[in-house]
Amino acid sequence: MGLYNAAGARITKSAFPSAAVSDPEKKITADVYATRTHDAGTRPSDTRDSVPEGSIKTLLFKAGAIVRQSQIDKLFPAATIASISPATGPAAGGTVVTITGTNLDGVADVKFGSTTGTNLKVLSAGRLQVTTPAGAAGAVSVVVGDDAGAVTKNSGFTYA
Per residue of the chain (160 residues), give pLDDT as tens.
678 788 888 888 888 887 877 888 999 999 888 877 766 554 555 555 555 566 788 888 999 999 999 998 888 888 999 999 999 999 999 999 999 999 998 899 999 999 999 999 999 889 999 999 999 999 999 999 998 889 999 999 999 9
Q: What is the DSSP letter of 10?
A: B
Q: What is the pLDDT of residue 144?
A: 97
**pLDDT tens-place string over residues 1-26:** 678 788 888 888 888 887 877 888 99
Q: What is the pLDDT of residue 138?
A: 97
CB-CB neighbours of 83 under 10 Å: 12
Q: What is the pLDDT of residue 50?
A: 53
Q: What is the pLDDT of residue 14?
A: 84
Cβ neighbors of 111 (< 8 A, separation 6 or more) are 117, 141, 142, 143, 145
What amino acid occupies position 144? V
